Structure 1
Amino acid sequence: MPDQFKTCMILNPASASGQTRQTWPVLEAHLKRVDFQFDLRATTGPGTAPELARQAIQEGFEMVVAIGGDGTINEVVNGFFEDGRPLNPEAVLGILCVGTGGDFIKSVGIPRNAKQAVNTLLGRATRTIDVGQCSFVDHFGKQVERIFVNIADIGVGGETVERINRRSGKSTGKIPYFLSSLVSLIQYKNKKMRIQIDDVFDEERVVSLLAVANGQYFGGGMHIAPQAKVDDQQFDVVIVGDIGTFTFLANLRRLYAGTILSHPRVDLFRGRHVK
């Protein structure tokens, strides 16, 4: 048996609009061909992956692999932490992206093809990346703490995610996300916010979108933070100012191409603490 981490895999069979349930046997057969040993646990619904990951780490697994899309990755990452602290600082995150988005893997160089991505799990080579911790009040008035490895955003992006989440049971992916973005852009009203970034920025602005970026991509390929690095110990904070629906739509191509930072109403700051 090759030298490898003691591994637990967290499978989200509902990812990729349920297609993962059908494609998993093929990926499982490939893992067996390369003699990769693992314990498998499947999620049973939204919000179950953190506890599965937490249990795996408490049971002594050295690596926990998220099998799904960006949402699954986020949930598994949250299982690595309790009260904002890592359960085991030596625990390793692995990713086999079989969802429809695939945004985070672009920033860390993990292949989109899950079979090719298996090679990143072999052996014991790792890299250290940053994580973010955000605190917010949810729709029920409850204070919530969440960990993120990719991007946390406020404004029309959050409105779009909420709209996507309301599509429970319907198809997801780039086209539904794009259509939801269009509806959100039409209906969303830009908000006045006070934004504080370390000691370099403290202003009230009317904002359509604010992205606190560890990774570079979100929303199914939108290249919102092309200069962000996952291991530089700071966030790229992208502020999209008070622009209307027509202006936003006219610049969607720049958003996907990674050239949105050149727009006169888009600003980039860097910092470790954002309020």
Structure 2
Amino acid sequence: MRAVLVVNPKATTTSERSRDVLVRALRSEVDLSVRYTRRRGHAMDLAREAAQEGVDLVVTLGGDGTVNEVVNGLMAAEPPTFRTGQTPAERLPALATVPGGSTNVFARALGLPREWPDGTSMILEGLRLGRSRTIGLGRADDRYFTFCAGFGIDAAVIQRVEQARKRGRVSTPALYFRSTVSQYFLASDRRHPAITLERPGETAETDLGTVIIQNTAPWTYLGDREINPNPDASFDLGLDVLAMRRLKVASTARTVTQFFSQRPDPHGRQVLRLHDVAEFTLLAARPLAFQLDGDYLGEREKVRFASVPAALRVIC
């Protein structure tokens, strides 16, 4: 089996020595080449090139941003073995994800351990046993995502955190909490919800303040604790949506508290939830922050979302 390991050398939880250990472990099971990312977006190019070379497996070492880039590179590739009628999962290399970032939502949602040595052991076992799983992806315009997207406050919070990290701050739950409070109270126009959600054949949902989209559950983690706005979201189904209407302090606090419940079921007059949705479009009356898989992608006024079933085969 031919494989390519795409490494983000800035991955927060691995060192050069641990990367060497990982490479040796993988080479005990596959014919491996190692390629390092040098800039943002480079993992996309490396994954596309690997697929077009006809490799059987692409392994990532990095966080959720690296995984997202690799997935988008794979989905854009045309492997030499392409045959009409194949699903993407049938024609593309399999994907394996070694957790190397600070949160690793995608890997953990697949059931992989949080730490990279344990995750590597599980992947090696999956390769030996031929164990894999076919999953669906989400697509936002022309960009794919593995576990979540956001339009509004959560994306603006991610922008704040990214700016803080550029100033040397460490990504911690406390940093996310402070960024969320600052964004909600100081930088959000909570009195004038700007988002409309449109679905084919359905009445439009208007006056939405912020929207969370999930391709799986959980949405993210706070340390070891799952945060679940849409607890029924699944890689095997369409997309799940949670939108909050007017972002009043009391109703917003109640809804966010429900995310952390042992048996989450967010509900209320200011909450809209949709399950297993094939496609929809979000329209905004003014430019709003937009994120995919925890990466801030700028401001948008319109984003079209779609579920892409049987998109990838993953080793887990």
Q: Which TM-score bucket, shorter chain as reference?
A: 0.7 to 0.9
Deviates more, 1:66-75 or 1:19-28: 19-28
Is residue 130–residue 231 contact of structure 1 (8 Å, CA) maintained in 2? yes
Is residue 53–residue 64 contact of structure 1 (8 Å, CA) maintained in 2? yes
- The residue number in structure 2 matching 1:174 is 173
Is residue 229–residue 242 contact of structure 2 (8 Å, CA) maintained in 1? yes
TM-score (norm 2): 0.72
1-side partners of 2:75 and 2:204: how far apart?
A: 30
Cα deviation, residue 201, structure 1: 4.7
- The residue number in structure 2 matching 1:100 is 102
Letter in 2 for 1:69: G
- Is 2:154 the counterpart of 1:150? no
Q: What secondary structure is seen at the aligned counterpart in 2 of 1:127?
A: strand
Cα deviation, residue 252, structure 1: 3.9
Structure of greater relative contact order (alpha carbons < 8 Å, 6+ residues apart): 2
Is residue 228–residue 235 contact of structure 1 (8 Å, CA) maintained in 2? yes
- What are the within-5 Å matches in structure 2 for residues 22-171 of structure 1? 22=16, 23-31=18-26, 35-82=29-76, 89-118=91-120, 119-121=122-124, 122-123=127-128, 124-135=130-141, 145-169=142-166, 170=168, 171=170
- The residue number in structure 1 matching 2:246 is 242
Q: What secondary structure is seen at the aligned counterpart in 1 of 2:71?
A: helix
- The residue number in structure 2 matching 1:218 is 219
1:55-109 deviation per Cα after TM superposition (whole angstroms, max 9, x unaligned): 1111121111121111111111111122999597332111111111122223221
Cα deviation, residue 30, structure 1: 4.4
Letter in 1 for 2:247: I
Is residue 196–residue 202 contact of structure 1 (8 Å, CA) maintained in 2? yes
Unaligned runs of 5+ in 2: 79-86, 282-316
Q: How many residues align?
A: 257
Q: What secondary structure is seen at the aligned counterpart in 1 of 2:51?
A: helix
Letter in 1 for 2:39: G
2-side partners of 1:173 and 1:38: how far apart?
A: 34
Letter in 1 for 2:197: I
Q: What secondary structure is seen at the aligned counterpart in 1 of 2:134?
A: coil
Cα deviation, residue 216, structure 1: 1.6
1:197 corresponds, among 178, 196, 199, to 199
Aligned-residue RMSD, C-alpha: 2.7
- The residue number in structure 1 matching 2:188 is 188
Q: What secondary structure is seen at the aligned counterpart in 1 of 2:158?
A: helix
Larger relative strand fraction: 2
Letter in 1 for 2:211: L
Is residue 152–residue 213 contact of structure 1 (8 Å, CA) maintained in 2? yes
Percent of aligned positions that are identical:
23
Q: What secondary structure is seen at the aligned counterpart in 2 of 1:242?
A: coil
Letter in 2 for 1:254: Q
Cα deviation, residue 167, structure 1: 3.3
Distance 1:26 1:250, change over 3 A: farther
TM-score (norm 1): 0.82
2:271 corresponds, among 243, 266, 270, to 266
